[in-house]
Amino acid sequence: IARAIDYIHLGDIFQANIAQRFLTDLPAETRPYDVYRRLRRISSAPFAAFLNCGKGRAVISASPERFLSLGPGGVIETRPIKGTRPRGVTTDEDRALAAALIASEKDRAENLMIVDLLRNDLSRVARIGSVRVSKLFELETFARVHHLVSEVQADIAEGLDAVDLLRATFPGGSITGAPKIRAM
């Protein structure tokens, strides 16, 4: 954390996302897929995955964020999330928290920074002139939180595929910070 703060003070990075990995050993009678199913019951995250790695190892993931999709006709889409508020207890409090998120200059600046980073990443594999911001600073509401979401689209360049797209963009900017390489 101290190194990230130093980089920010030096102007080397604008934002860093300090991540944490969670590892656990499950009791012998607990199957990893059962843990995933429980997570899906309590989480409304639209992007979830279970990956059985074999040898008793598995990856369980649930996220509200679409990192990448490559759709019909070669349309690339990424939907970064930057900006989150909890849901309110009352309807009035919930509306106030959502409005505060939409109006937050800090959250909008962070969101825009990542949108710009992703535009740059997509331009490496996109047909020239096709990168576009199709949604900017839209509120998305989930069971427990409000998120500020944007959407960047592009058309993949002729001769390139999903592997090229992943190489050009992984890991996602909303996970790393900006500029991406230095933030990592």
Concatenating the DSSP letter of every residue in 91-150 gives HHHHHHHHHHHHH-HHHHHHHHHHHHHHHHHHHTTBPTT--EEEEEEEEEE-SSEEEEEE
106 noted as active-site residue: no
Q: Which of 55, 77, 82, 138 is catalytic?
A: 82
Q: Which of 29, 65, 93, 151 is catalytic?
A: 65
Cα–Cα distance measured from residue 48 to residue 51, given in angstroms and rounded to the nearest whole number: 10
Tokens 């309807």 — which residue? 91
82 noted as active-site residue: yes
Provide the β-strand partners of residue 141: 146
For the annotated catalytic residues, the residue numbers are: 65, 82
